[in-house]
């Protein structure tokens, strides 16, 4: 009998692509999810989905200082 497939090790996966508006790749050290300032986190601008954050209202950005 075959063993069930296990989930891949996240450390071996390629990084997720950055979305429009992201300042850091998802999961990058020193980065985190923040409210997108162009749409104020609503995900909408001018009555339509915000084209920069793709309607999510969030971006990945560098946080902290160095």
Nearest to 59 by CA among 28, 30, 31, 36: 36
Is 0.75 surpassed by the pTM of this model? Answer: no
Per-residue model confidence as pLDDT tens digits over 6-37: 665 656 655 555 566 666 667 777 777 888 88
Measured CA to CA, the distance from residue 24 to residue 10 in angstroms comes to 18
Report the pLDDT value the prediction gives residue 1, as an integer from 0 to 100: 52
DSSP one-letter string for 4-32: PPPPPPGGGSPPPPPPTT-SS-TT-TTEE
């Amino acid at each position: 009998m075959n063993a069930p497939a296990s989930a891949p090790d996240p450390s071996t996966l390629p990084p997720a692509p950055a979305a429009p508006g992201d300042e850091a790749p998802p999961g990058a050290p020193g980065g985190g999810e923040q409210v997108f300032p162009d749409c104020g986190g609503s995900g909408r601008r001018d009555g339509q989905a915000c084209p920069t954050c793709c309607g999510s209202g969030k971006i990945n950005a560098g946080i902290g200082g160095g």
